[in-house]
Structure 1
């Protein structure tokens, strides 16, 4: 072992001469320890190159990365002193090398080998315990330089427990991107979707694509009907047009997601950036950010315009406001309908809560983040439903009271009854899909933890991460739940076509095409 010291001393002297000649770091001076794992020990200076020929502490830090889980989980009281003795050796005096003793190496290895196998980490050949001196009085022991470990609990390697979720190497992301998955930073869910098979995802993508085309056609027809005769749709009916425009944009985004597949919602696997294909998060992907802004903004705006529609009906039915009086509040309606969704969208962007949805190909919120799902989807949508239903029922009750108490001509009675029926049918066609979407989100957020635990249990061996301990319940999501959710998110925009669907609309379109044909003949 004396020969080992001599060889190492000669090697470090040669390296120091070479480094001094090139203006690099010199080993003749002690330097502060910058490795976080080895800070806070009884010694705070080291020298480079270390015992494993790492020229600087940055290189040593990269080499120590696979051992971080073992140190954090404290699989052995000896693992941290042993690793630090190798990667950041004690700097005492030049020519005096302090090696970790063999028994320290053996205890660390024996205590942690099960956990290392779980994480897919092997014990390097250069750390083989036979290379180190015996633990006797003739060799200084590095463990003596570290804080006392008296009173520490038994090594947890021998105790089975739940280690929580550890991000697999394949899913780790660059720290500056701000990704997060299952509460672990710098980690992202896998792409394609972690819960479903490839054939299920293909079917879901085409299903969403077809529904988005149907919704886009219906809402576009409503908007074009409005453009043909703008004066026909006055308040209190005017909000239906803006409602249709919102869901026209929503269906357009889903259609774009169908065309893009997962090219925007997923990060492409790349050795230089991402080790595996992962879900896009945050605002660094401009296309994903644009899809998110459009989809979330118009989804929230559509629900707000429905509430404003119930407000205008209430004003027309209860205090008996006319179209002109309601129209005077149009500026306020627009400020609320576009301002509130805009503020929520900006807030989510500032919080970096954008997430790719590999099933639909779009980017949205709450796909994996439960907090964002609760506060930025469930709460706003539920609030819109409660306020809208209260105002709607109050308006219908007022109209029915007018019909019962005030004698009207039969023609006016029939018009009032038809108007109430249209309001009721339109509201049911809107509320049923929206309540279904809210129900799907509630069920999803209540089961998400079980789904994630089941996924970890199924993939922990493949990913070399700790498996869950004592899993009481396992469950996988049914793809039908997600298909219903997407269906209702898009179908909710279709009721607008029923409001404009009438003989008058047919006459207007016929007149439009006949007039256009007449103009062409004249030209």
Structure 2
């Protein structure tokens, strides 16, 4: 009787085991977890090594490991994690557990990412607790499809996940900053594209040139103050042009003296951030530098256009100095009003950007749209208008020169006037056209430079790498 009771209890326990586990002990089932579909095997068995009793539990437990698969930190990461959470089940009802070699490869390749994302590695998946990879054991489930694994892995490698902002470059939410199209992210400081010796040379060159330009423009302005009557219209705009660029030169000199103190944010050990570039109007010093630099840069260019207009009125339309001077209010309204409107728009759009090469704050250093619409377009428009008026004035003066070719005295004065126009316009146009060429070259290749930088530093920052750097 007692023996019959014991047999009954044993049978009852055996019958209840599959009920508690929800799966047959002797059958394979299709894989339903999306991340593990398309592997060399499509059947699995439960419970797995981690004591998950069905695929729903395994899928939830697998979520913390998904960044490793998404970033493809190792060619074996997907195969290993899937073999651990949804082990392969062969047609012969053999179970293929995860093996030690795959574990060691994955842990070695993904160790930094595991630390970065704070992933807890289960004790059941410690490499020293796993079985050695047995070729005979894996021949039916894994080995025959090793080529297909390689092919799938190579297909996954070329997948571009876009730019992920590294944790050291992250900013607190709500700062309305953007770097490479990603919000709440800032560029690193010092400059991304130059080595330290190149940066030092550039800083010194900018500092020396700013001092030279400041002296030259101040000399012109002081000359005007000594004899105000010497500069009448149509030449009066030269004075305002000189004032604008004296302030521009002064801003670059301030940036040279300040170094990166104004344009870079300090590193924060508590937040784990490194030194980053100032983006936006949160930094008062950077905002003031930007306002003065952008406003007077644009105003100086507009004053040059007004200079060509007044010269054309005098040379082409034969206006007198008094007639030209009567329109002075309009000249000042345009020359100071348009740059002021643009400056306010940029502040409203939060387009202030630090330049860790020159130490000043400007626009379009990281935002290509701002570069196109607030620098390239206005400067190109000014060059086209000014050059057209300048050529029209020179043609008109040349025609007058031919008419008065027998009047030697007036012809000599006209010749000197044309030479002054040509020399001054050339001294302004050559640097401006060179600057426009640099801006056009930069906006054409900026994306390539940024992609190359991400490719070169993606492993340092533990972020997805792009497909390949551009040549």
Identify the residue that residue 226 of structure 1 maps to in structure 2: 224
Query: Which of 245, 257, 260 is 1:259 aligned to?
Result: 257
Deviates more, 1:161-170 or 1:239-248: 161-170
Task: Please tell me whether residue 103 in structure 1 is matched to residue 101 in structure 2.
Answer: no
Identify the residue that residue 159 of structure 1 maps to in structure 2: 156
Q: Give the distance between the partners of 1:66 and 1:381, measured in 2 at CA.
A: 52
CA contact (8 A) 1:356 1:363 kept: yes
Task: Please tell me whether residue 128 in structure 1 is matched to residue 122 in structure 2.
Answer: yes
Please report the TM-score for the alignment, with normalisation by the length of structure 2.
Answer: 0.71
CA contact (8 A) 2:64 2:119 kept: no
Describe how 1:393-472 pairs up with structure 2 within 5 A: 393-406=391-404, 409-472=407-470
Q: Which runs of 5+ in 2 are unaligned?
A: 1-62, 74-83, 88-96, 126-151
Task: Please tell me whether residue 338 in structure 1 is matched to residue 336 in structure 2.
Answer: yes
Q: Give the distance between the partners of 1:313 and 1:447, measured in 2 at CA.
A: 38
Change in 2 beyond 3 A, CA 1:66/1:172: farther
Change in 2 beyond 3 A, CA 1:471/1:198: closer
Q: Give the distance between the partners of 1:315 and 1:446, measured in 2 at CA.
A: 38
Provide the secondary structure at the position in 2 that maps to 1:121: helix
Deviates more, 1:370-379 or 1:115-124: 115-124
Q: Give the distance between the partners of 1:388 and 1:115, measured in 2 at CA.
A: 63
CA contact (8 A) 2:167 2:272 kept: no
Identify the residue that residue 50 of structure 1 maps to in structure 2: none
Describe how 1:380-395 pairs up with structure 2 within 5 A: 380-395=378-393
Change in 2 beyond 3 A, CA 1:454/1:470: closer
Change in 2 beyond 3 A, CA 1:223/1:270: same
Q: Give the distance between the partners of 1:66 and 1:373, measured in 2 at CA.
A: 41
CA contact (8 A) 1:119 1:466 kept: no
Deviates more, 1:276-285 or 1:197-206: 197-206
Deviation at 1:271, TM superposition (A): 2.2
Describe how 1:281-300 pairs up with structure 2 within 5 A: 281-300=279-298
CA contact (8 A) 2:65 2:119 kept: no
Which is bigger in relative contact order (C-alpha 8 A, separation at least 6)?
A: 1
Identify the residue that residue 166 of structure 2 maps to in structure 1: 168
CA contact (8 A) 1:174 1:273 kept: no
Q: Give the distance between the partners of 1:324 and 1:202, measured in 2 at CA.
A: 51
After superposition, the C-alpha distances for 1:24-47 in whole angstroms (9 at most, x for unaligned) are xxxxxxxxxxxxxxxxxxxxxxxx
Deviation at 1:117, TM superposition (A): 2.7
Please report the TM-score for the alignment, with normalisation by the length of structure 1.
Answer: 0.64
CA contact (8 A) 1:355 1:368 kept: yes
Deviation at 1:118, TM superposition (A): 8.7
CA contact (8 A) 1:268 1:274 kept: no
CA contact (8 A) 1:178 1:185 kept: yes
After superposition, the C-alpha distances for 1:403-445 in whole angstroms (9 at most, x for unaligned) are 1124563111100000001101111111110000000111111
Q: Give the distance between the partners of 1:69 and 1:124, measured in 2 at CA.
A: 11
Change in 2 beyond 3 A, CA 1:228/1:103: same
CA root-mean-square deviation: 3.1
Q: Give the distance between the partners of 1:421 and 1:162, measured in 2 at CA.
A: 58
Describe how 1:63-74 pairs up with structure 2 within 5 A: none
Deviation at 1:128, TM superposition (A): 2.1
Q: Give the distance between the partners of 1:184 and 1:391, measured in 2 at CA.
A: 44
Larger Rg: 2
Deviates more, 1:382-391 or 1:197-206: 197-206
Identify the residue that residue 206 of structure 1 maps to in structure 2: 204
After superposition, the C-alpha distances for 1:264-296 in whole angstroms (9 at most, x for unaligned) are 111111224661000101000000000001111
Q: Give the distance between the partners of 1:114 and 1:166, measured in 2 at CA.
A: 22
Q: Give the distance between the partners of 1:333 and 1:118, measured in 2 at CA.
A: 65
Deviation at 1:458, TM superposition (A): 1.3
Change in 2 beyond 3 A, CA 1:324/1:272: farther
Q: Give the distance between the partners of 1:66 and 1:230, measured in 2 at CA.
A: 75
